[in-house]
């Protein structure tokens, strides 16, 4: 192909010949009808939809779909990837695929919107992730894990705030005191930049108990140092 318009015309022509044999298409090669694992997620696809995707890639001569994120989004190869993706998505969705995802079909014919969504996801979000990963391998997995930690903290904080407003029996009022300290957390959590640890301790039931536990912390730290163990206790 010499222009993107020729790629588009081939995708629209149901009688256009394959540039490469469908048997040589690597995308979804091992996929079977039913649940298909793509990345970390699962999608439900029929065999007909899989064959349609592979047929579209065979027409434009792409054995393995995968945009070049180091190139411009309007390069000929990236344009072919975008057009084949949007074209197959449009056709198989209209044919009943992805019903379980509850897609709003009123936007299905808005090709301009689909193109903008594709470019944003592929050539911005994924490109930024790829760029960061190339500089620091494994950084994306760390970011995802950290986001899960932050979400869990947010959930716990919300739960604590709700639970501590519930009327508790007088004999367990100390529970309310502990739950009210919503800013306290363990000593193995780092700040957002990962360069330091902020340690916020719970306030105990009395100042005497607080002093006793802090003294115990100090003695445990001294003992660990004598044993050659690494300690993360507060000073």
| Same domain (yes/no): 125, 157 | no
Residue 7: the pLDDT is: 86
Average the pLDDT over each of 9-13, 24-28, 187-191 and give the range with the smallest value: 187-191
Does residue 217 have a pLDDT over 70?
Answer: yes
| Contact assessment for residue 87 and residue 57, using Cβ atoms and an 8 Å cutoff | no
| Same domain (yes/no): 14, 105 | yes
| Same domain (yes/no): 19, 82 | yes
Cα within 13 Å of Cα(81), Cβ side: 20
Residue where a domain terminates, one of 93, 110, 135: 135
Per the structure, the count of domains in the chain is: 2
Residue 3: the pLDDT is: 84
| Same domain (yes/no): 127, 27 | yes
Query: Per the domain annotation, does 74 fall within a domain?
Result: yes
Residue where a domain terminates, one of 135, 151, 170: 135
Residue where a domain terminates, one of 135, 157, 173: 135
Query: Per the domain annotation, does 180 fall within a domain?
Result: yes
| Same domain (yes/no): 49, 127 | yes
Question: Tens digits of per-residue pLDDT, 135-148?
Answer: 888 877 777 777 77
Query: Per the domain annotation, does 9 fall within a domain?
Result: yes
| Same domain (yes/no): 100, 55 | yes
Residue 41: give the domain boundaries.
Answer: 4-135
**Average predicted confidence (pLDDT) for the chain:** 77
Query: Per the domain annotation, does 217 fall within a domain?
Result: no
| Same domain (yes/no): 78, 180 | no
Query: Per the domain annotation, does 155 fall within a domain?
Result: yes
| Same domain (yes/no): 19, 108 | yes
Query: Per the domain annotation, does 219 fall within a domain?
Result: no
Question: Tens digits of per-residue pLDDT, 180-210?
Answer: 554 545 555 666 666 766 655 555 556 677 7
| Same domain (yes/no): 37, 151 | no
Average the pLDDT over each of 92-106, 136-150, 153-167 and give the range with the smallest value: 153-167
| Same domain (yes/no): 107, 152 | no
| Same domain (yes/no): 35, 77 | yes
| Same domain (yes/no): 56, 167 | no
Query: Per the domain annotation, does 212 fall within a domain?
Result: no
Residue 234: the pLDDT is: 47
Query: Per the domain annotation, does 123 fall within a domain?
Result: yes
């Amino acid at each position: 192909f010499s222009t993107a318009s020729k790629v588009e015309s081939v995708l629209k022509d149901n009688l256009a010949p394959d540039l490469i044999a469908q048997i040589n298409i690597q995308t979804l090669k091992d996929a079977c009808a039913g649940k298909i694992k793509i990345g970390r997620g699962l999608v439900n696809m029929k065999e007909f939809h899989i064959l349609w995707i592979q047929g579209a890639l065979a027409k434009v001569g792409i054995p393995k779909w995968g945009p070049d994120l180091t190139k411009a989004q309007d390069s000929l190869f990236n344009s072919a990837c975008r057009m084949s993706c949007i074209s197959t998505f449009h056709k198989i969705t209209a044919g009943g695929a992805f019903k379980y995802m509850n897609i709003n079909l009123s936007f299905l014919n808005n090709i301009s919107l689909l193109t903008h969504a594709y470019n944003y996801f592929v050539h911005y979000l994924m490109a930024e992730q790829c760029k960061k990963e190339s500089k620091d391998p494994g950084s994306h997995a760390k970011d995802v894990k950290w986001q899960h930690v932050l979400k869990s903290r947010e959930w716990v904080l919300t739960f604590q705030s709700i639970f501590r407003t519930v009327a508790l029996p007088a004999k367990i009022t100390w529970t309310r005191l502990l739950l009210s300290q919503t800013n306290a957390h363990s000593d193995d959590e780092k700040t957002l930049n990962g360069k330091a640890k902020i340690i916020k301790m719970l306030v105990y039931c009395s100042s005497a108990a607080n002093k006793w536990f802090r003294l115990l912390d100090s003695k445990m730290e001294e003992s660990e140092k004598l044993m050659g163990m690494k300690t993360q206790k507060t000073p």
